[in-house]
Amino acid sequence: MAVERTLMLIKPDAVKKGVEGKIIAHVQEKGFKLVALKKLRLTKEQAQQFYYVHKERPFFEELCEFMSSGPIVAMVWEGENAIEEIRKIMGATNPEEAEEGTLRKLYGTNIGENAVHGSDSKESAQFEIPFFFSRLEIVE
């Protein structure tokens, strides 16, 4: 299996709850390596650019409002099959449907405010990582 990099965000709801450290520790304990990290606040326009693939979906406006409503934490994680594995660690989109022990079950609020984002494919990781980080900000 290939070593991959994936982008993960800790969304504003989880930052407000103060669980950034717990989320980072959880992913580290699963064996992944943190190679980039920053805290920032997106403007609504930046959130729209980041989520442009969802622009036709009914929740797009709500999602971009939420994602720009407060600070987030952006991270790049590295490891074997990282894209798919980190999606498993996150759990289902709706925290009510997420498996016990997943990040969304543990820390999510509802289907929109669901604590974390993770790239869902190699193509999305290739767009999402450089959206937040320059090459110099990713530690080899």
Annotated binding site for ATP: 11, 59, 87, 93, 104, 114
Active site residue 117: yes
Could you tell me which residues come within 8 angstroms of residue 110 by beta carbon, excluding any fewer than 6 positions away?
94, 95, 96
Q: CB 114 → ligand IDP: shortest distance, Å?
A: 5
8-state DSSP, 126: H
Decide: is 102 part of the binding site for ligand IDP (CB under 6 A).
no
* 62 contributes a contact to ligand IDP by CB under 6 A: yes
Q: Strand pairing partners for 118?
A: 8
Residue of 79, 117, 118, 129 with catalytic role:
117
> Which member of 26, 102, 117, 128 binds ligand IDP (CB under 6 A)?
117
| Sheet bearing 33-40, strands edge to edge | 33-40, 72-80, 3-10, 116-118
Question: Among 26-34, 54-62, 72-80, 127-135, which window interacts with ligand IDP (CB under 6 A)?
Answer: 54-62
Cβ neighbourhood burial of 76 (10 Å; 0-12, 13-18, 19+): buried
Point out which residues bind ligand IDP (CB under 6 A).
Answer: 54, 59, 62-63, 93, 111-112, 114, 117, 120
